[in-house]
Amino acid sequence: MREKSYLLLVHHPTVDREGKIITSAITTLDMHDFARLAKTYGLGGVLVQTNLPQQVELIKRLLGHWTEGYGGERNAHRKEAIEGVTFWPTVSESLGAVQKAHGERPIVIATSARDVGLPVITFAEARKKCEESGGPSVIVFGTASGLAQEVFSECDYVVEPIGSPSGYNHLSVRSAASIVVDRIFG
C-alpha cells in the first residue's frame, strides 16, 4: 500500500537549535529531493506544510519551471516527480487532505532524534503498519532542528532514530528522509 503513503515536510512549527519555535524557509531543493525520493519508492506524494502563504506562492512559481515551463519539456522525469507535491498551511490540514483522499484517517508516523513521548516503533514495524494496514499513512519530517513538540500530538508513533556509529547525529533532512524511506519502503 505504498501508493497510499505520503511524506510530510513541516516548516512550522519547528524548532531552532535553542528549541525556540520558528518557521523555517521552504527551499526548492528540498521539494526536488523529496519529490524524487517519493516517486522512486512509489509513494503517494509529498505534502509540504508552511504557515507562510507568500512562500507557497514563490515556491510554486519556481517549481512551475518544471511543471509548466521549459524545465518540464526538457526533463519529463522531474515534472512527473514535482507534480506529486502539494502545499498545506497546517499539519492538521495536510493530514486532513490525506484522510479526505482515501476516506480513512492515516497512520501518522513522526521522525525525531529525541524522546518525544510517543510509542517508538522500529523501521520494520513502520513498514508493516504502512504496507499491511491497507489504509493511508504519513511519515512526518521536520526541517530546521526538528518538529516542535505540539506536532507530535497529531502523530500516532515515532520511528526509532537512524542512529550513528560515530555519535554525531546531524544529518540533513534530505539525507534523513532518504534513509528513513529506504529503511521502511526499500
Binding site for a second copy (CB under 8 A): 2, 17, 29, 32-33, 36-37, 39-42, 74-75, 77-78, 80-81, 162-166, 168-172, 174-179, 182-183, 185-186
Nearer to a second copy, 58 or 171 (CB): 171
Nearer to a second copy, 95 or 137 (CB): 137
CB of 168 to a second copy, least distance (A): 5
Nearest to 54 by CA among 98, 20, 14, 23: 23
SS3 letters for 54-92?
HHHHHHHHHHHHHHCCHHHHHCHHHHHHHCCEEEECCHH
CB of 16 to a second copy, least distance (A): 11
CB of 89 to a second copy, least distance (A): 27
Task: Output the nine-digit C-alpha cell for 186.
Answer: 526499500
CB of 129 to a second copy, least distance (A): 18
Nearer to a second copy, 117 or 163 (CB): 163
121 pairs with which residues across the strands? 159
Nearer to a second copy, 38 or 107 (CB): 38
Nearer to a second copy, 11 or 39 (CB): 39
5-10 and 137-142 beta bridge pairing: parallel
Q: Which residues of 115-135 are buried (b: 16+ CB within 10 A; e: fewer)?
A: ebebeebebebbbebbeeeeb
- φ/ψ of 108, rounded to 5, equals -115, 120
Nearer to a second copy, 12 or 33 (CB): 33
CB of 160 to a second copy, least distance (A): 12
Amino acid at 129: K
CB of 144 to a second copy, least distance (A): 12
**Structure-derived torsion over alpha carbons of residues 164, 165, 167, 172, reported in degrees to the nearest 10:** -30
